[in-house]
């Protein structure tokens, strides 16, 4: 991939290394998901007792944040020619 002899090649420049890193992340996610069924949690509300509650809650919160930002963008966005000087 290096075009010049002095170009430094980094670890993530190779697609196979990126795929290895993604596979490690997938395994970590799977292990954490499996641990959610095994590890006892001390909960304060009944909803927290459901398996994968925090994963579902985080996903729903993220989706709501994106939807809210789309609505907020429509509210505060200025016209494209806002800074044009009309003399």
In a domain, 25, yes or no: yes
- Domain annotation covers residue 15: yes
Residue 4: inside a domain, yes or no? no
Instruction: Tell me the per-residue pLDDT of 34-57, one tens digit each, with 9 for 90 and over.
Output: 888 888 888 898 988 888 888 899
- Three-state DSSP class for residue 25: helix
Tell me what pLDDT residue 65 has.
97
Share of the chain above pLDDT 70, in %: 92
Same domain as 30, residue 52: no
Give domain status of residue 85, yes or no: no
87, pLDDT greater than 60? no
Which range among 1-10, 36-45, 61-70 shows the weakest confidence by mean pLDDT? 1-10
Residue 24 placed within a domain: yes
The answer to whether the beta carbons of residues 36 and 52 sit under 8 Å apart is yes
Residue 30 is classified by DSSP as H
Average pLDDT for 13-42: 92
Instruction: Count up the domains in the chain and report the number.
Output: 2
List the domain range (segments joined by +) for residue 15. Answer: 11-40
User: Residue 86: which pLDDT band, with cuts at 50, 70 and 90?
Assistant: low
Pair 68, 49 in one domain: yes
């Amino acid at each position: 991939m290096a075009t010049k002899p002095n170009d430094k090649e980094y670890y993530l420049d190779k697609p196979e290394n990126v795929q290895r890193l993604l596979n490690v992340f997938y395994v970590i996610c799977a292990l954490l998901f499996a641990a959610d069924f095994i590890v006892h949690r001390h909960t304060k509300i009944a909803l927290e007792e459901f398996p994968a509650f925090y994963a579902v809650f985080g996903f729903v919160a993220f989706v709501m944040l994106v939807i809210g930002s789309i609505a907020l963008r429509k509210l505060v966005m200025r016209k494209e020619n806002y800074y044009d000087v009309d003399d």
